Amino acid sequence: MRGSHERAGMGDEPGDGEADRRSRADVYSSARIGAAASLTVVLVVLLVLDVAVPGYDISPGILLPLLGAILALLGLEASAVWRGLR
């Protein structure tokens, strides 16, 4: 709305309650799990190619950051679960 002085999306909306926060947390959780699963599939495909194709070598410079990203995403998810249990 042009000329409006309302602040949209600033966190003080009347409907911005506990249910909305839980819904956003569920969306972020699904995104983290989906990203970790996708990266795990990529990791498995690379490892299968490394074993199955002669002369195909995967350097640790590829595997370690990929594994680190997977562990970071799962670590964030574990942290969110741990906070929810308290």
Q: Is residue 8 part of a domain?
A: no
Model confidence band, residue 2 (pLDDT cutoffs 50, 70, 90)? low
Q: Is residue 29 part of a domain?
A: yes
Torsion angle of C-alpha atoms 37, 39, 42, 48, degrees rounded to 10: -70
- Owning domain of residue 52: 19-85
Q: How far apart are CA 25 and CA 83, in angstroms?
A: 12
Q: Is residue 61 part of a domain?
A: yes
Domain count along the chain:
1
Which ranges of the chain would DSSP assign to H, the alpha helix?
18-52, 60-85
> Average pLDDT, stretch 24-37?
86
Is a pLDDT exceeding 60 seen at residue 15? no
pLDDT, residue 86, reads 58
Q: Does residue 60 sit in helix, strand or coil?
A: helix
pLDDT, residue 9, reads 54
pLDDT, residue 85, reads 66
pLDDT, residue 68, reads 96
